[in-house]
């Protein structure tokens, strides 16, 4: 029994530190998703960068330019073709299974930076962590800041769920 308690404590400490390191304390929004698949399988799906139209119903088309990693850019167009947003990939690291991108056009927020990270939980489980922050919400007649944050939560949740489904196949 004592051994079981020690193992449980070690797992709690390791998971707690892993989760803490995976999250950005300054983020306005943090979402996590536990996936019943290895971190490598999940990262293999998430690292593609140019398939957002396959994992988000909010994106009808994605055009990727530049390197598949830091320095690359993607323009995502809404399914109706009316809205667009542009993202620049700021950092990309296969070793830490993470990438960071800035949304530079098309959203009502200045200085928006987001990050995806895949954390290995062992035993063929992993966790996707998505964080997002922005410096300033720009008032506009189309949506409030609360609606914008709701959209970000919904869109990131949908993408994480779809990546989890793809990685679990």
> Given pLDDT bands bounded at 50, 70 and 90, which one contains residue 8?
very low
- Give the start-to-end residue ranges of the domains of the chain: 2-168
| Lowest model confidence (mean pLDDT) among 23-32, 46-55, 111-120 | 23-32
Q: Which residue has the higher pLDDT, 22 or 152?
A: 152
Over 70: is that where the pLDDT of 10 sits?
Answer: no
Please write the tens of the pLDDT for every residue from 112-167: 999 999 999 999 999 999 999 999 999 999 999 999 999 999 999 999 999 999 99
Q: So what's the pLDDT on residue 151?
A: 95
Residue 29 vs residues 2, 32, 113, 151: alpha-carbon distances, Å = 39, 10, 11, 11
Q: So what's the pLDDT on residue 112?
A: 98
> Given pLDDT bands bounded at 50, 70 and 90, which one contains residue 27?
confident
Over 50: is that where the pLDDT of 18 sits?
Answer: no
Over 50: is that where the pLDDT of 17 sits?
Answer: no
Q: So what's the pLDDT on residue 48?
A: 96
Q: What percent of the chain has pLDDT over 70?
A: 85
Pick the CATH number of 2-168 from 3.20.20.220, 3.30.300.30, 2.40.50.140, 3.30.530.20: 3.30.530.20
Average of per-residue pLDDT values in the chain: 88
This prediction's pTM: 0.84
* pLDDT mean over 25-39: 91
Q: Which two tokens stand for residue 77?
A: 């167009």
């Amino acid at each position: 029994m004592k051994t079981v308690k020690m193992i449980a404590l070690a797992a709690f400490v390791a998971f707690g530190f892993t989760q803490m390191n995976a999250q950005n304390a300054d983020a306005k929004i943090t979402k996590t998703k536990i996936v019943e698949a290895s971190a490598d399988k999940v990262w293999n799906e998430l690292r593609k960068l140019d398939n957002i139209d396959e994992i988000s119903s909010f994106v009808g088309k994605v055009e990727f330019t530049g390197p598949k990693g830091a320095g690359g850019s993607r323009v995502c167009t809404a399914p109706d073709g009316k809205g667009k947003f542009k993202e620049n990939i700021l950092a990309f690291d296969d070793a830490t299974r993470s990438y960071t991108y800035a949304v530079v056009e098309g959203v009502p927020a200045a200085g928006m930076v987001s990050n995806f990270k895949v954390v290995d939980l062992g035993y063929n489980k992993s966790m996707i962590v998505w964080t997002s922050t922005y410096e300033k919400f720009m008032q506009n007649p189309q949506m409030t800041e609360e609606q914008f944050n709701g959209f970000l939560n919904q869109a990131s949740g949908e993408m994480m769920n779809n990546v989890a489904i793809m990685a679990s196949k």
